[in-house]
Amino acid sequence: MKFVGNLCWEQVDDCHIAEGGNSFVYKVFNEASEEHCALKLFKFENTTGERYERFINEIDIVKELSSVDGCISYIDHGFIEDKPFYVMPFYENGTYRSKYFHGSSIEADEATQDFLKVLQIVKSIHAIGLAVRDIKPQNILIDGYGNPVLADFGLSLWVDHCDEDRNTPEQGMVGSQGYRPPEWHTRYPELNHKPGDIWALGRTFWAMLAGCNPPNNYETLGGNGTHLNQYVDKSYANVVQSLVSVCTSQDPDKRLKIDELIEQVKYVRQLIEESKNEQETHKEAIAQKLSKFHLQVSNSEAYIDSQRLESEMNIKMDEINNSSDLLVENLENYAKSISAGVPNDLGKFSIIKHMPAGVFLDSKQLNIDVSENRSWGKVIQLRYTPSEMMTIHKSLEYVDLSFYIGLTKAKNFYWIVQVRDQTVHDVDIIEQIEPKSLIGVVTQKLKQLDEFVGSNFLTIVEQHFKA
């Protein structure tokens, strides 16, 4: 079969090499340029209506994106028997689906680097005002240098288009199963579909690490057997999962922006590389790999909205628990080290875990709207408790370094660090933030424990013993 646009293209194989919702893809050859390319042909006989308009729009969008690095390039287009087609480069190295699925053994650091390249492409697309609306591993091609190339813009939409310019009817849906966000299913989407792309990117990253498509539901990933600790190393599974969970938040406004996502993925990549280097250096100490968990719950049906929101809440509480465990583990080491260096009759240094948390927090200095539901928070304290002799001789009472983690009234995470010197009734909140990823912040703040413990805790204890 021959296709004639500005150039003449001849079909190479007997049948199409791929098929999409609206099209067949053929491998074609141009004799004049001796060039093999891919040709995408509208596959329906009816050349009117929504599907046809989408295909025509896709040609215009591919032309527009030809100047954007990492997007499929436009070469030619035309019509055959009234059916439109367009020609693009042919990539023989497959897609992210063929690279990462079907038992792939690619390391998480390489997957993260590949994902960062995709994010940079999406950032450029978002910058010109376009939402992709169909991001998934199958639509990410691989060029001759191993770099990703984003393809298939049949569902893409300029964010400033009015409702009348859309091709999707009000009761219709866009996107691919497993990668389509809940707001594209439950209501007519807002004009700005960029948060929907973030959802699809989060699920794409999960799929690259898990080696399979995500479940066909609208759940926030991280619960119901989808936690990445089944697929990646335990040392960084929680951090990676937290990133995926915030991308797949039920509330589009609470998802990361593309710039925020890029920075978070860079940080996650750094953690993975540090963990990998540590494993290579201390193989005997950290040689055990995390076993895969068996799936506990069937995802045969999508939950209704309230169930999905409850699932997301459970994921957030799991993140609080994981963050608490990290803090306790590290603070216990500090307590042991301090106690080993001071006389026994000075007093003791210990870790106190409180759950729920709210009763210990001095709200007067807060600019964070902490939830009144105390079960949504925890506090971990490094405490100096003076001995009976020191209490009598110096009238000393306890000194606490308290780390508060939990949820605000709006169900956002919070991180608060407070020092209390009960001897002089002095309370100082030294840090308070509302992160989108709690486990990510806690992991970062663990590197500052020397400062928190030394400057904000031991200094206060020490001043009670100065002459």
Residue 297 pLDDT: 40
Q: What angle do CA 257, 263, 265 make, to 5 degrees?
A: 100
60-67, long-range: CB within 8 Å, 24+ apart, which pairs? 61/130, 61/153, 61/156, 62/86, 62/88, 62/153, 64/128, 64/130, 65/125, 65/130, 65/153
Name beta bridge partners: 429.
Answer: 418
What average pLDDT score do residues 234-253 get?
92
Residue 288 pLDDT > 50: no
**The pLDDT of residue 174 is above 70:** no
Q: pLDDT at residue 317 above 80? A: yes
Q: How many angstroms separate the CA atoms of 162 and 207, rounded? A: 33
In this predicted structure, what is the pLDDT of residue 294? 34
pLDDT tens string 8-22: 999 998 899 999 888
- The model carries a pTM of 0.73
For residue 409, what is the DSSP state?
A: T
Q: What tokens were used for 116?
A: 């960062």
pLDDT digits (tens, 9 = 90+) for 268-285: 999 888 887 776 654 444
Average pLDDT over residues 5-34: 92
Continuous segment of H or E residues that includes residue 247: helix 234-247
Q: What is the DSSP string of 211-237?
A: TSPPPSS-PPBTBTT--GGGTS-HHHH
Domains and CATH numbers, the chain: 2-89 (3.30.200.20), 96-302 (1.10.510.10), 322-463 (no CATH)
Residue 259: which of 113, 441, 127 has the closest Cα? 127
pLDDT of residue 103: 77
What integer pLDDT is reported at residue 306 of this predicted model? 53
Q: Tens of pLDDT along 430-449?
A: 999 999 999 999 998 988 88
CA atoms within 13 A on the CB side of 139: 24
Angle (CA) 355 360 365, round 5°: 135
pLDDT tens sequence across 74-129: 999 999 999 999 999 999 999 999 999 987 788 889 999 999 999 999 999 999 99
pLDDT digits (tens, 9 = 90+) for 343-366: 878 889 999 887 555 555 666 788
Output the CA–CA distances (angstroms, integers) from residue 244 to 161, 255, 295, 321, 382, in the order listed. 29, 10, 19, 17, 32
